[in-house]
Chains A and B, each alone.
Chain A
Amino acid sequence: MKDEIKNEMDELLRRVSRRNDATPQGGDTSLPSEHLDSDELNTYAERALPEKTRLRYTEHLAECSKCRTLVTQLSQSSGVERLQNEKAQPSWLAGFFSRFLSPFSWRLAFPVLAAVGIIAIGLIVFRRESPRTFIAERTNETMTEKAQATPVLSDGDNNSSPQSKTPTVSPPVQPQVAGQTGQHNTSSNANVSDRVESAASSAPKDQPAGSAPASASADAAPAPVPAEELTRINVAENQQKLEDLKKEKQAEEERDKATNAKEPPAAAKTRNVDELRGATSTAEKSTSGGALQMSPGFSAGKRERKDDESKNDSETKSLAGRQFRKRGNTWMDTAYNSSMTTMTVARGSESYRALVADEPAIRTIADQLDGTVVVVWKGKAYLIR
């Protein structure tokens, strides 16, 4: 229906327009007395008139083809000018988006984004490595002393494969000698002695690349041995010692299981093992302290080492027939689980005295373990502070 009306009126209006074209007035039913002047034409075309005035001029334009033609021309040219002005002075937001979304910007943006991405990745890697470096630097000296203070064990088992026995010992990473010892970093079968050699061969940056690697033995080392090299040597010794102690511990644990008897010396040895393990791992950290220039196989080794470190960080003690593992400042009973009802008891408090009066073994545990202790006793957990 709408289309029909449109067609009907379209034809009729065109017919009227054709008929009026033939008249001298050119389609205007009445000739206005005065045409619009230039200022009126322009203000109309630029829509700068108040509404009522505009209506008066519209009335004129509807009847005057001359003024209508001029206004049409001016509207089109002012429209072009407006467009040009808009192009020349776009709004802030439109300008921002047009600049941001322009292909030229994106062509530049991709390399910039790529560069930013590379820098970001570099920073992340650097940040992840930095604490390790600082810890290594801080602990370097103390751990070296610790390692030196530890009795050096015999080299009898040097030929055995320590990695097969102590898979938790992390492979050392020597970025400065990565090119020389690449096979050590990538080979999962590399043994500790190899790694010790590679560790020992890693020299300070200013050392010539072709210098002979230092001997694993402290005796064979040149007289002015740098602290870092000493640390590396001690790492090897500590690892060896660790293996021996671990063997002993395993044997004792088997005996413990068989007899279910308390063996404080074994616990002490265990502690020694753990201390040594900690010392070894820290010392190893110190040797890999400058590990900012990574070798390709570094990340995998790093992950392994991290796992090992988390294991090594926790000490284990066995007291009154219970196993305790140190997590931070807390000794946790290995039998503890979070679903247990936990009773908090402060050392020296009335409730503590009552508890140890009933259960003297708990006092033994609490006396021997400093800090916070979580004990599982007769199906109940006690948090002793």
Chain B
Amino acid sequence: MVSPVKDRTEEIQKLVKLGATRLLSRAQDTRSVKVEYLTPRISSAVEKYLLRDDPSSSSEDIGQFIDGLQADDLCLIIACEQSDEKAWTDLVERFTTTVRSAARSASANEDAAEDLVQSIWAELYGLRIRDDGKRASKLAYYSGRGSLAGWLRAVVAQLAVDSFRKQSRLVQAEEDSELDRMAQDVSPEDGPVVLIATTQSPEEAITTKLTHEHLEDAVSRALQNLGPDDRLLVKLYYFDNLRLKEAGAVMGVHEATASRRLSRIHADLRKRVSEILIKEKGWTKAETEQSFAEAAQQLDSDLGTLLRNESVS
């Protein structure tokens, strides 16, 4: 008796093979890529982007997914992996501008950008040799689901972030030692340094601090309970300081949709925060409302200060 899993695997392999044949038939230039070179790549993409999150995907879903792959880009990359010289020449000619442009926008200066470009091509070509004797090229990670240009930009951006973090770790270590020296230079005769000036009494200050902490904790928890899309929007807008238009672009929605969604999130969050404060922190409804009102006043005063500063400058 054939198990359902095995039955499904065979069915998927069959669908992948058929899909690979269709892909080659719609490619303008197959670069002599054969079906057997394509099927492992397609099979991997189907598993990664479709079956992992939806194992019960129908045959139509799998077929549609394969038909959505970038036929020419995939053939080009596989031909490059097969050490096709013409394919390499075409890849470099077609995407030099894209890679250079992405490197420039990710680098601080032209030299750094040029270094990054060279690194990218080296990574793509694969300088290391794997155990199976093949080069360890980044090209193996291209699934064909997105555009090749977009994928190259992502590779550049990721490499730039990684190299920046390496550099910033070095800089951070230097800054830390500098701060230590500065701290030691401060003599005890200078007297205590008053960092915060406040008119509140110590009791009031503690109460205010606790109130703020409770409120912010409640907001953080309420945020965690939002759906992934809503949470991502809040993060993009409030944490990453993107504009609504930019946040909408990341999420694939229009600015107006993002704005409406944010208004709904505000109402939803307020309700959740109130519930957390009343049920878990023991606040009264009046106290909750007062805290919200104070927060709004704080925003008004912040805006007022901002406007005054702008008008002075």
Residue A225 is within 8 A (CB to CB) of chain B in the complex: no
In the complex, the chain B residue whose C-beta lies closest to that of A3 is B296
Residues of B within 8 A of A81 (CB): 149-150
CB <8 Å contact, A65 and B240: yes
Report the minimum CB–CB distance from B212 to chain A (whole Å): 7
A14 to B240: give the CA distance in the assembly, Å. 11
Report A19-67 residues with CB < 8 Å from chain B CB. Answer: 19-21, 27, 29, 37-39, 41-43, 45-50, 52-53, 55-56, 58-59, 61-62, 65-66
The answer to the question of B219 belonging to the interface, with a C-beta cut-off of 8 Å to chain A, is yes
Residue of B nearest to A20 (CB): B239
Contact indicator per residue, chain B 218-250, by CB within 8 Å of chain A (1) or not (0): 011001100011011011101110100010011
Q: Is B151 an interface residue (CB 8 A)?
A: yes
Is the CB–CB distance between A17 and B238 below 8 Å? yes
Checking B250, B263, B299 against A72 with a beta-carbon cut-off of 8 angstroms, the contacting residue is B250
B147 at the interface (CB under 8 A from A): yes
**Which stretch (A4-12, A214-222, A302-310, A317-325) binds chain B?**
A4-12
> Contacts A8-B293, A13-B219, A15-B212 hold; do A77 and B102 have CB atoms under 8 A apart?
yes
Q: Scoring B residues 265 to 305 as 1 if CB is less than 8 Å from chain A, else 0, what string do you get?
A: 11101100100000000000000000011011011101000
- Residue of B151, B219, B232 near A38 (CB, 8 A) is B151
Instruction: Give the chain B neighbours of A4 by CB distance below 8 A.
Output: 296
Contact A71 B250 (CB under 8 A): yes
Total A-B pairs, Cβ < 8 A? 174
Q: Which residues of B contact A6 (CB under 8 A)?
A: 263, 266
The stretch of B79-87, B137-145, B195-203 in contact with A is: B137-145
Task: State whether B141 touches A38 (Cβ < 8 A).
Answer: yes
Interface SS, B side: helix
A16 interfacial by beta-carbon distance below 8 Å: yes
Given contacts A52-B53, A70-B154, contact A42 B232 (CB under 8 A): no
The answer to whether B161 touches A45 (Cβ under 8 A) is no
Q: Which residues of B contact A45 (CB under 8 A)?
A: 146, 150, 154, 250
A249 within 8 A of B: no
By a CB distance below 8 angstroms, the chain A residues around B224 are 29
Shortest CB-to-CB span from B176 to chain A, Å, is 14
Complex CA–CA separation, A8 to B153 (angstroms): 39
Decide yes or no whether B215 CB sits under 8 A from chain A.
Answer: yes
Give the residues in chain B near A66, CB-CB below 8 Å: 161
Find out whether the CB atom of B145 lies under 8 angstroms from the CB atom of A78: no
Closest Cβ of chain A to B124, distance in Å, is 11
Q: Is the CB of B250 within 8 A of A16?
A: no
Q: Which residue of A lies closest to B151 (CB)?
A: A42
Given contacts A27-B239, A29-B224, A49-B145, contact A9 B266 (CB under 8 A): yes
Given A7-B296, A45-B150, A17 and B239 contact (CB-CB distance below 8 Å): yes
Q: Across the interface, do B234 and A73 meet the contact criterion of CB distance under 8 Å?
A: no
Tell me the count of chain B residues lying within 8 A, CB to CB, of chain A. Answer: 64
B 66-103 contacts with A by CB, 8 A: 68, 102
Query: Chain B residues with Cβ under 8 A from A55's Cβ?
Result: 53, 228-229
Q: Is the CB of B267 within 8 A of A5?
A: yes
**In the assembly, what is the distance between CA of A14 and CA of B235, in Å?**
10
Query: Which of A12, A14, A16, A69 has the most chain B CB atoms inside 10 A of its CB?
Result: A12
Within 8 A of A (CB), among B27-76: 49-50, 52-54, 61, 65, 68
Asked if B49 and A43 sit within 8 Å, CB to CB, the answer is yes
Indicate whether A351 reaches chain B with its CB closer than 8 angstroms: no
Give the distance to chain B from A89, nearest Cβ to Cβ, in Å: 14
The answer, among A11, A48, A61, A79, for a CB contact under 8 Å with B146, is A48
Q: Residues of A within 8 Å of B, CB-based: how many?
A: 55
Residues of chain B with a CB closer than 8 A to A78's CB: 147, 150, 153
The answer to whether A42 touches B270 (Cβ under 8 A) is: no
**Given A2-B263, A9-B266, A11-B295 in contact, is the A42-B212 Cβ separation under 8 Å?**
no
Q: Least Cβ distance of B248 to chain A in Å? A: 10
Q: Does B157 contact A (CB under 8 A)?
A: yes
Smallest CB separation, B241 vs chain A (Å): 8
Q: Is the CB of B153 within 8 A of A42?
A: yes
A2 shortest CB reach to chain B, Å: 7
Q: Is B296 a contact of A11 with CB atoms below 8 Å? A: yes
* Chain A neighbourhood of B207, CB < 8 A: none
A134 to B33, CA, bound (A): 75
Given A12-B215, A17-B238, A71-B250, do A61 and B68 touch, yes or no (CB 8 Å)? no
Nearest-Cβ distance from residue A286 to partner chain B, whole angstroms: 71
A7 CB contact (under 8 Å) in B53, B161, B300: B300
Q: Of residues 127 to 142 in B, which have CB atoms within 8 Å of A's CB atoms?
A: 138, 141-142
Is A75 located at the chain interface by the 8 A CB criterion?
yes
In-complex Cβ contact of A48 among B145, B153, B157, B299 (8 A): B145
Q: Which residues of B contact A (CB under 8 A)?
A: 49-50, 52-54, 61, 65, 68, 102, 105-106, 138, 141-143, 145-147, 149-151, 153-155, 157-158, 161, 212, 215-216, 219-220, 223-224, 228-229, 231-232, 234-236, 238-240, 242, 246, 249-250, 252, 263, 265-267, 269-270, 273, 292-293, 295-296, 298-300, 302
7 closest A-B pairs (Cβ-Cβ)?
A11-B299, A52-B53, A38-B154, A62-B231, A7-B296, A9-B266, A42-B146
**A residues at B contact (CB < 8 Å):** 2, 4-17, 19-21, 27, 29, 37-39, 41-43, 45-50, 52-53, 55-56, 58-59, 61-62, 65-66, 68-79, 81
24 contacts between A and B (CB under 8 A): A7-B300, A11-B298, A11-B299, A12-B273, A12-B295, A14-B299, A15-B212, A15-B295, A16-B223, A16-B238, A29-B220, A39-B145, A43-B145, A45-B150, A50-B49, A53-B49, A53-B50, A66-B161, A69-B161, A70-B161, A72-B246, A75-B246, A77-B153, A81-B149
Q: A2-B263, A9-B265, A55-B53 are in contact. List 15 more A-B contacts (CB 8 A).
A: A8-B266, A13-B223, A13-B238, A19-B216, A37-B158, A39-B145, A53-B53, A68-B232, A68-B236, A72-B236, A74-B157, A75-B246, A76-B246, A78-B153, A79-B249
